[in-house]
Each structure stands twice: as C-alpha cells, then as structure tokens.
C-alpha cells in the first residue's frame, strides 16, 4: 500500500509501545496502582494506564502534531487529519491490577479511514505483534498465520464478558453454553488485543466478545487479517461485538453466536 512513510510510522508505533510497556512493568505487581472505577467495579483504570497513554500521546503530539487520536482514557482529540491513531494504552487492566501477566499495549494507525498499521505489545511476555496493510503479520520478526484447524471439536477458543454483566442477562452466557460443549477447550485471557493476536498466530483457534470498543480491536484486527484469519461482527447493538477465527472454522463458530439480545 502506497502510504507516505509507513515504515517510519511502524517504527514509531513499535518503539512507543515498548516504551509504554516498560512503564507498565515498573508498576506491575506494585502497591502504587491507584486503582479507580469508571463505569462500575468491573471497569477500572490504574496509574499505569494513564502513564502509558501519556507517553504515547506525548510522542504523537511532538512528532505528528496534526494527526488525530482516539484513545481509551483521553477520548477523541477531534483533529481533522488523514491519519488517526487508535490507542488502548493498557488492554487487560483487570489482569494487570491483579498481577496477571496477560496485558498489552495496542496501537493502530488509520490513513484516510483505513487501518494501515497494527501493533500489539505484551511487555511481560516480550511479544511484539505487528502488521502493515498488505505486508503480512509478524511476531518478534517471524511471520505468523492461523492454525488451519477445520473442526470446532479440535479448537481451543477464547471469549470475554461485557462490563455491564452485573446489570443485564445479555452477558454472553448463552453463547458460552452453545459453544463450550462443541470445542476442545475454552479460555478467558482478559485482553481482546492479545486474543486477536493469538488467533492470528495459531495459539488459539477462535475468539468472540461483545461490547468492545474500537481501541480494543483496531490493531489486533489488522494483525489477524494480515495473518490470514477471518474477522466479523455478530451484533450491531452492543458497540463492537467481534468474532475471529482460523478460516476453516469461522462459519461454524459464527453460526453459534446470537445476533440479538436475550428477551
């Protein structure tokens, strides 16, 4: 894809993701997280989320002052630009706050409305996933691809639960009850960005989750699709409700997911 300075943009995105990840490791399993609730007790933010976001956004403001930004904690900076950075500075905050190592920095870059770069960095695991539009997907410099499994019975899948699970029966349990008996195993990793990248790399075979946001999936979606995986949405009333898998089981998994809320 002919985008000005795409290699430079990718280098900056990976460099800044690593820098944010180093800050997260300084906070990880410490006593100075300053945990705050947002929507409810299941939706939290820590000092590490804010510090990570500040590092990335400060770099963008200094290097690309005319680029638009959408970030989980800061929101939308409302600049009109051909470029937009979509940032989840710490995806998997609940894991992070409990001392669990599955958390990540997620950075996507759009050019004229199309995602051209996706970077997901899991600092504790030292796993750097990245992709460029038309350039394939990579983990720590090695090309990745989905597993190639062709039956749900062989598949290990992952899912998640919406933050409003305490106040609605539309909480994904119906989908779990349909999928669980038909797969080899089911996991709940707690970071949508990692879930998507692990499907891209063949470590998992499928993933779905309701009520996500663009910053949760933008980078991982490009990495998955560039690796050769399939991605779609199965609900249009629960923000971003994503489903992803290795291609040969996609239709099997998709058909089990409800496209409407429980009555």
Q: Are 261 and 237 in contact (CB under 8 A)?
A: yes
Domains 6-143 and 152-254 share a fold: no
- For strand 68-71 and strand 83-91, is the pairing parallel, antiparallel, or unpaired? parallel
Would you place residue 75 in the very low, low, confident or very high pLDDT band (cuts 50, 70, 90)?
Answer: confident
Distances (CA, A) of 260 to 141, 224, 263: 40, 25, 9
How far is Cα 105 from Cα 128, in angstroms, rounded to an integer?
A: 10
CA–chain centroid gap for 150, Å, is: 24
CATH, domain range 152-254: 3.40.190.80
Phi (first) and psi of residue 210, to 5 degrees: -100, 160
Beta bridge partners of 88: 106
Distances (CA, A) of 71 to 76, 78, 201: 7, 11, 26
How far is Cα 68 from Cα 82, in angstroms, rounded to an integer?
A: 8
Tell me the per-residue pLDDT of 18-49, one tens digit each, with 9 for 90 and over: 999 999 999 999 988 888 876 666 656 899 99
Q: How many CA atoms lie within 13 A of 15 on its CB side?
A: 9
Tell me the per-residue pLDDT of 150-202, one tens digit each, with 9 for 90 and over: 999 999 999 999 888 888 889 999 999 999 999 999 999 999 999 999 999 99
How far is Cα 139 from Cα 37, in angstroms, rounded to an integer?
A: 33
Q: Report the largest interatomic distance among the alpha carbons of the chain, rounded to a whole angstrom.
A: 51
Answer yes or no: is pLDDT of 77 > 90: no
Q: Are 128 and 216 in contact (CB under 8 A)?
A: no
Residue ranges per structural domain of the chain: 6-143, 152-254
How far is Cα 6 from Cα 117, in angstroms, rounded to an integer?
A: 8
How far is Cα 19 from Cα 9, in angstroms, rounded to an integer?
A: 15
Predicted confidence at residue 43, as pLDDT, reads: 58
Q: At what angle do helices 192-201 and 214-227 cross, to 10 degrees?
A: 0
Mean pLDDT of 89-93: 96
Instruction: Give me the percent of the chain exceeding a pLDDT of 90.
Output: 84
Based on its alpha-carbon atoms, the radius of gyration of the chain, rounded to whole angstroms, reads 18
The mean predicted confidence, pLDDT, of the chain is 94
Predicted confidence at residue 95, as pLDDT, reads: 96
CATH, domain range 6-143: 3.30.540.10
Tell me the per-residue pLDDT of 108-117, one tens digit each, with 9 for 90 and over: 999 999 999 9
Answer yes or no: is pLDDT of 208 > 80: yes
Residue 65 burial (C-beta neighbours within 10 Å; 0-12, 13-18, 19+): exposed
């Amino acid at each position: 894809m002919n985008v000005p300075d795409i290699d430079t943009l990718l280098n900056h995105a990976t460099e800044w993701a690593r820098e944010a990840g180093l800050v997260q490791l300084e906070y990880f399993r410490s006593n100075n997280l300053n945990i705050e609730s947002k929507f409810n007790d299941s939706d939290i933010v820590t000092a590490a989320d804010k510090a990570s976001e500040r590092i990335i956004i400060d770099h963008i403001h200094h290097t690309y002052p005319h680029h638009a930004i959408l970030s989980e904690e800061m929101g939308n900076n409302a600049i009109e630009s051909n470029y937009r950075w979509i940032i989840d500075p710490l995806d998997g905050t609940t894991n992070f706050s409990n001392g669990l190592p599955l958390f990540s920095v997620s950075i996507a870059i759009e050019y004229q409305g199309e995602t051209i770069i996706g970077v997901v960095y899991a600092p504790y695991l030292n796993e750097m996933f990245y992709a460029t539009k038309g350039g394939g997907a990579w983990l720590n410099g090695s090309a990745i691809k989905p597993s190639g499994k062709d039956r749900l019975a062989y598949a290990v899948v992952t899912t998640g639960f919406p933050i409003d699970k305490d106040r609605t029966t539309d909480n994904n349990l119906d989908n779990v009850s349909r999928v669980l008996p038909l797969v080899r195993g089911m996991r709940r990793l707690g970071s949508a960005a990692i879930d998507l990248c692990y499907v891209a790399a063949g470590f998992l075979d499928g993933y779905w989750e309701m009520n996500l946001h663009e910053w949760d999936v933008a980078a991982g979606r490009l990495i998955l699709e560039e690796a050769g995986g399939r991605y779609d949405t199965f609900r249009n009333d629960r923000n971003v409700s994503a489903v992803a898998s290795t291609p040969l089981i996609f239709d099997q998994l998709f058909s089990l997911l409800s496209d409407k809320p429980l009555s």
